[in-house]
Structure formats: C-alpha cells, structure tokens
Structure 1
Amino acid sequence: MDDQLPALEAIVGSGSYPTFARSLVALSAEGYDFDLDHLFELGLGAPLDGLAVRLDRRAP
C-alpha cells in the first residue's frame, strides 16, 4: 500500500471518487492492517457463496 501512495494521491486529488477518498483519509488517520489471509478469505468467500446457492438450486 505504501508503494502505491502516489497513485492513491492522484485518485483522491482528482475529486472523481469522494467515497474512496474519505475511506483513504480514515485509513491514513487510523492505520490499516494488511492481513493477506483475511483478504484472501474475503475475496474467495463471495464467489463460493454464490456457487453454493446455484448448486443448491440444482440439487434434486
């Protein structure tokens, strides 16, 4: 995240993404916990939940 600071500042400075900008300001004030395991679980959970719903509909 720290390496991406120039790109993030450009996005915030553009004014095109106000909600994202507020989120970044909050993160910079409070800090962030970059837990890769949590991000992986979060990213994988939604597609798997959707797949489970589809498979349940097909079950006899």
Structure 2
Amino acid sequence: MKLHFDRFSKTPNVIKSADVIPIEHKNLTLIPYTRSDINNSLNEMVITLSNLILFLSLFY
C-alpha cells in the first residue's frame, strides 16, 4: 500500500500498490513502474547473471 499526497490539499490518499496512475500529456503518457515490476526485472537480471557465470565457469 502506498500513500499518495495531493499537493494541493496536503491530505494523504491511500492507493493500493496494484493501482497504476498514468501521467498524461497531449503527446506523452507515462505509466510508472509498480514495485512488482521492479522486483521481476531484478529477479530476471539475477537469473541471467547466474546463468552467465555458470556458462563461463564451463570454460575454466
């Protein structure tokens, strides 16, 4: 669960971590990463590095 502060009213609004709040402009839409997206990316990088190390160890 994340706390989102409205900069105008200065009151916290509770937002579930699964909610995605797009930031829109007429030529651009930004969709922020959720924590699970970041964790999945890190896990994939760790697995890739582990596989690379294992592969390289075959040559030594």
TM class by smaller structure: 0.3 to 0.5
Which structure shows the higher strand fraction?
Answer: 2
Give the TM-score taking structure 1 as reference length. 0.38
Give the TM-score taking structure 2 as reference length. 0.38
Which structure shows the higher helix fraction?
Answer: 1
Q: Which has the higher contact order (CA 8 A, sep 6+)?
A: 2
Larger radius of gyration: 2
